[in-house]
Amino acid sequence: MLEKYKNIYFLGIGGIGMSSLALYFIDKQKSVGGYDKVKSSITKQLSFKGSVINYEDSKANIPNNFLNKEETLVVYTPAISKSNKQFVFFQQSSFKILKRSEILGILSKNKFCIAVAGTHGKTTTASILSHILLENNIKFTSFIGGISENYNTNFIQNGDEIILVEADEFDRSFLTLYPDIACITSIDPDHLDVYFNEQSLYDSFTDFTNNIKNEGILLVNEKISIKGSTFGFDKNSDFHITNYNILNEEVFFDINYNGLISSIKFNMQGRHNALNALVAFAIGLELKIDKLKLSKSLSTFLGVKRRFTYVLKSPKIIIDDYAHHPKEIEEISKSIRELYPEKKVTAVFQPHLYSRTRDFMSEFAQSLSLFDEVVLTEIYPAREKPIKNINSENLLNRIENNNKCLITKSNLPKYLSKSSSDILVIMGAGDISEEVNLIKKHLELL
């Protein structure tokens, strides 16, 4: 079906998931273009590779060669508003329009599909697994929701016998997939604007597992009550970690299953990331990759950008992280305290979405209270319009910490350069990452 289209036009082309698909179609010699609200490093990379991208929402900005509906396929992300003028034009003009998730479903339908699901950990797990497959010369294509530190991309291709995708629960997108191997890293309440309650979210993950092909394999975190091979830290799990320890900021652990791999070195901090490595290892075994080769691949995996990424180590430590959910913030706090128990830590957090801030206001306050100092910026709205009485000031008032403040993003570098903390951890899924280098430059001048 996709072969008949010469042109692929992306609405929201700068999104991390959309851009990997755009790179795929560029690689297939399609004419690729699209719209995004903001210019970013991702859109600049796509433009460099030949994409034609515009940043003003109007029909007039759509290049002429994408106006032929017989030759143009339109792909959109749910983050794009249905009132978007370009979306409305394509819809009213009867263009073929598909969601990103539908494209992934089509691409993976007749391939061996590995799907990585979970409310947290998808991107890291998919990135680790992509690295394992590439290092062991497996023929695969992967679409990742983050930038691999090893390859500086979110699209990795070494053939197309296997399609590796992140199975996104938002908008029930993962129900377009029919995997041969699937894993679920976590199920914590999220996207309550879509699911309304935790049970509805859980039911959706159950529906996803029902899509697994006959004779397919499911690996689930030991804390999830869905039947499958289990992984975790509990000795009763089918795959479990023992002897987890940190030495000179490096992580080591043993993996236990029917066999044992001891003293695996891993470059990402945190027990949650060790679990991501564990399930990637387990999938590698299912693919008949030698256990010693798997161990070596884990040791050479460098991480994912904005997943506990060290930006600076002197005169202060700066850690940049995508964390945007209370559980993720809690895990970041645990990891830092485990590494640096004596150091003072400032958390800088940009809340993401009014609805998520509303739904988890108390939980955000609780997780942020774990830090020595808390700095909030205003909420990053993404696709949403403001909700009455839902703002960062309201969240700030609930945080149980006397060392807290709300400031604008532009004032962050100056404010943080005066901080007495040893560690600054900057978190959020919005545009807070754009401030990180400016903060770094200010601190380097101290």
pLDDT per residue as tens digits for the range 376-433:
999 999 878 899 999 999 999 999 999 999 999 989 999 998 899 999 999 999 889 8
Bridging pattern class, strands 229-232 and 217-221: parallel
Per-residue pLDDT for 195 more than 80?
no
pTM: 0.90
Q: 3-state DSSP helix/strand/coil percent for the chain, to nearest 5?
A: 35, 25, 40
Question: Per residue in 101-140, pLDDT tens?
Answer: 999 999 999 999 999 999 989 999 999 999 999 999 999 9
The runs of H, that is alpha helices, within 36-157 are: 41-48, 85-92, 100-108, 122-135
DSSP 176-212: G---SEEEE----S--HHHHSSHHHHHHHHHHHHHTS
The domain ranges of the chain are 2-99, 109-300, 309-444
* Least reliable range by pLDDT among 49-58, 358-367, 378-387, 400-409: 378-387
State mean pLDDT over 311-334: 93
The runs of H, that is alpha helices, within 80-170 are: 85-92, 100-108, 122-135
CATH code, 109-300: 3.40.1190.10
CATH topology of domain 309-444: Protein-Tyrosine Phosphatase; Chain A (3.90.190)
Q: How far apart are CA 169 and CA 202, in angstroms?
A: 10
CATH code, 2-99: 3.40.50.720
Give the pLDDT confidence score for residue 192 in this predicted structure: 65
Contact at 8 Å (CB) between 160 and 141?
yes
Residue 294 buriedness (CB in 10 A; 0-12 / 13-18 / 19+): buried
The secondary element (H helix, E strand) that includes residue 338 is helix 326-339
